[in-house]
Structure 1
Amino acid sequence: MNPATTNPSTTNVEDIPPTRLRLDRALDRLDVVFRGMTARADEAQCDCHWGSEEELALLKIPDVELDPDLLYRTWHACDWTDHGAVLRRVLPQFARALVGGLVEPHQMDEVGRSFSRGHCYRWPVRQSTAVWEFLHAWWAHSLTDPDPVAPVHELLALCTEASGTIGPWLAVWERLDHPVADRHLAEAAAQWEYDLLRDELPWSMWWWEDDDTDAARTELSAWLVRHVPARLQAQDDATEELLHLVRLIGLTGPARYEDPHWPSDRH
């Protein structure tokens, strides 16, 4: 897994991928933009279930680093009076923890919900721009990273939940002509095919209306059907079985279920 930051004393700038340089700049920008942020003075939490008064007080002091457990409890809690203010308080450290692999990959959808609860799109332009640049930089870097800190399919769920849209993230992937990005595409298709063949989005969108979730699922399905076969055949990154499953995602009704390649274990 990649380190949270690049050590200039051991790595030549010329050897650092451009996507990593962009990500480092985005992290540095978060440090600048969110310096001095605090939770609201009247913010409260349950000392039985969340933590102590002393820990809560730390969120009202700017720029004090939190221990990993307190950081987790802070971004993960869903019952803050002002989740946006709390998220702004921890965001520089939180972003570096994400990029540094200190948050479990299976929690990426929960991370996305934390960004969504914070309503980042409503923040002042300087702040919201810094957040979106971080997410886009992390996404672009992960697509070409052979060993990203979180699987790309998990990161897509995070970015979709955080931004409220799936299209821009798929568009970046579509434009990227890179063998590693294609390998991630094969892995993602293998992860998603089971749910998409049941006409379900492969992850939960807790804050979305059903129509919005269906629209995202439809967009993802159509995108896979259009772009997976040619890219994966060219890279030898997909089995014949996976290619048939992706093809089936593009069919509906009896045409899907009566196809000779419909998997027998789905009945």
Structure 2
Amino acid sequence: MPSPALDAAVDRIRTVFAGSTSPMETGCGMCHLPEETALLRTPDVELPDDVLWMFAHEVPNHFDDHPAVMRRILPQLAGRLATGRFAGLDAYELTGLGRSGWHTWPAEQACAVRAFLEAWWADTVTSEAPPYPVHEVFESCVTAGSTVTPYLAVWAGQPLGGPADRHLSDCLDRWIDDLIGDLTSPLFSWWSDPYRDEPLAELQAWLVEHAPPRLRAVGADPLLVFKTGLLALPYDERWTEEVWAAAPGS
């Protein structure tokens, strides 16, 4: 069940974007049926989930007014994400929001979007059993928000040894080999901000500072803790025999 803070963020989205439409929308006739596109011109009518999901990740040039389309679907999309309504989640699905330029929308709208993404992430990372895997929500928020900074700040603010640290261990187990190889996949495979570099270095630096004590607090694999420490080294030094001689089990 969503937290009160997440419920409030969804309600704010619904209030701010109530009545939104893309009034002259013709859409992409190759991808969407006329009756589906017509829903974008009609305020406050729910879209079928499969149509909503397709609109959410559609590329901007498939619409006459891509930002207007995103504003139109946001109330329903936010509600579905908050409750885990969709069968699965992939960061790709929020590329539409990431490419919409929502940061440049009127302040009330931009603040509502930002507050929702941060509340959704906070609700997820503090839950024992969130509706979607934590790594998928993190990657989705980064894709939609074009930043890792506020989501890492939420992670850093959680109590040592709690659910957030167990989620951190699970995420790092999935990510660490890419991170020590300076690879952005899969974390930023759908990064869609052409004005900012992928924040790989920011994430690596944050992990060096915050992850080791949190991993130890939840009894993470010592090899995972060791690999995380390698992120503090220049790339070439991570692979020397001398460094790996200190690895657990060597």
Tell me if both proteins adopt one fold, taking TM over 0.5 as the criterion.
yes
Equivalent residue, structure 1, for 2:229: 247
Q: How large is the RMSD of aligned CA atoms in angstroms?
A: 2.1
Equivalent residue, structure 2, for 1:72: 53
Kindly report structure 1 stretches of 4+ aligned residues shifted beyond 6 Å: none
2:70 is aligned, of 87, 99, 102, to 87
Amino acid paired to 2:164:
A
Equivalent residue, structure 2, for 1:160: 142
Equivalent residue, structure 2, for 1:228: 211
Q: Show structure 2 runs of 5+ residues with no match.
A: none
Q: Show structure 1 runs of 5+ residues with no match.
A: 6-19
Equivalent residue, structure 1, for 2:85: 102
Equivalent residue, structure 1, for 2:114: 132
Determine whether 1:146 maps to 2:128.
yes
Distance 1:145 1:163, change over 3 A: same
Determine whether 1:113 maps to 2:95.
yes
8 A contact 1:84–1:119 mirrored in 2: yes
Paired-residue identity, % = 38
Distance 1:125 1:254, change over 3 A: closer
> So what's the TM-score if we normalise by structure 1?
0.83
Q: In the TM superposition, what is the alpha-carbon distance from 1:209 to its structure 2 partner?
A: 4.8
1:192 is aligned, of 160, 175, 197, to 175
8 A contact 2:139–2:188 mirrored in 1: yes
2:38 is aligned, of 50, 57, 61, to 57
Rounded Cα–Cα distance in structure 2 between residues aligned with 1:170 and 1:28 = 24
Equivalent residue, structure 1, for 2:239: 257
Rounded Cα–Cα distance in structure 2 between residues aligned with 1:105 and 1:147 = 15
Q: In the TM superposition, what is the alpha-carbon distance from 1:45 to its structure 2 partner?
A: 2.3
Rounded Cα–Cα distance in structure 2 between residues aligned with 1:158 and 1:233 = 27
Deviations 1:186-213 (A, max 9, x none): 0111111011111122331442459712
Amino acid paired to 1:260:
W
8 A contact 2:53–2:93 mirrored in 1: no
8 A contact 2:58–2:95 mirrored in 1: no
Amino acid paired to 2:51:
L
Amino acid paired to 2:169:
A
Rounded Cα–Cα distance in structure 2 between residues aligned with 1:115 and 1:175 = 27
Rounded Cα–Cα distance in structure 2 between residues aligned with 1:95 and 1:62 = 16
Distance 1:27 1:210, change over 3 A: closer
Amino acid paired to 2:244:
P
8 A contact 2:56–2:94 mirrored in 1: no
Q: In the TM superposition, what is the alpha-carbon distance from 1:100 to its structure 2 partner?
A: 2.1
8 A contact 1:38–1:61 mirrored in 2: yes
* Matched positions, count: 240
Equivalent residue, structure 2, for 1:207: 192
